Amino acid sequence: MPEADYTLYTFAMSHYSEKIRWSLDHLTLPYREVCMTPLFHIVPALKMGGRKQTTVPILVTPEASIQDSARILGWLEEHHGPLDLIPPDIHDEVQAVEARFNKIGRDVARFLYAAGFGEGDDYIIKLWTDHASKAQAFVIRHTYPAIKWSFKRQLKINEAGIARARKRIGDEITWLEQRLDEGHAFLAGDRFTVADITAASLLAPLACPDEHPVYREPQYKSTMGDAIEAWRDSTALQWVRDLYKQHRGEIKIQ
């Protein structure tokens, strides 16, 4: 594999970012990670992404700057494929599972912040400022109530939004458990693929695997406690923790 001069823009606690971090680690593609600070990510993300979207992850390579986890995987496939993570013979099946778990990413975030906002505000400020400059941290601390308000509006953190999130996450957890009940260890074909990485990464904030430097923190677990409690002992979240143990290893967030 040629040396690649890649930079991955993330948030430390972003589950979509973890999906790409894990994929790059698995593919042993060298990259540098830049953890962004919420709010201050907006202008760089708009510029790098060029799609009027402000989301991370964004992968910047000498050839292109790619925003959105599914598009990044498509790009990696095109430039480094065929990938063992997206085996050509089960390509469509892998992508279908990836898509179904991509869809609940926002629900997971909605559910977590609904549990954390309020008593957990101090810890959320800490999470949001861990990679900030002094000036950025000052701004976050002093505008937190406004950021929280707009975040709640954007993510539809209200009774109906939370109930919808619970239902949609529950449906995917049930789907995953049915798959396991049928005797499969993996979610597409019978190999470890991006389908597994996607499901595990997007559920990791609820499963809290020991390998993840943010989700394993006791303070994270207590702040997001109500959300984590909901499916803590489910077979699906145990599968996530096992997959991290077997296929992830210790994560280095740079």
Q: State the residues that interact with ligand GSH by CB under 6 A.
A: 11, 14-16, 54-57, 68-70, 102, 105
Residue 241: CB minimum distance to ligand GSH, A: 20
Residue 223: CB minimum distance to ligand GSH, A: 17
Identify which of residues 56 and 157 has a Cβ nearer to ligand GSH in the complex.
Answer: 56
Task: Give the separation between CA 147 and CA 175, rounded to whole angstroms.
Answer: 35
The two tokens of residue 42 are 């907006």
Residue 70: CB minimum distance to ligand GSH, A: 6
Task: Give the separation between CA 239 and CA 204, rounded to whole angstroms.
Answer: 10
Which DSSP letter does residue 35 get? Answer: E
What's the burial of 47, exposed, middle or buried (CB within 10 Å: 0-12/13-18/19+)?
exposed
3-class DSSP state for residue 27?
A: coil
Identify which of residues 55 and 65 has a Cβ nearer to ligand GSH in the complex.
Answer: 55
Identify which of residues 103 and 245 has a Cβ nearer to ligand GSH in the complex.
Answer: 103
Residue 54: CB minimum distance to ligand GSH, A: 3
Identify which of residues 14 and 61 has a Cβ nearer to ligand GSH in the complex.
Answer: 14
Identify which of residues 65 and 238 has a Cβ nearer to ligand GSH in the complex.
Answer: 65
The two tokens of residue 11 are 């948030």
> Distance of CA 40 to CAs 37, 57, 89, 137, 139, Å?
6, 14, 42, 10, 10
Residue 14: CB minimum distance to ligand GSH, A: 3
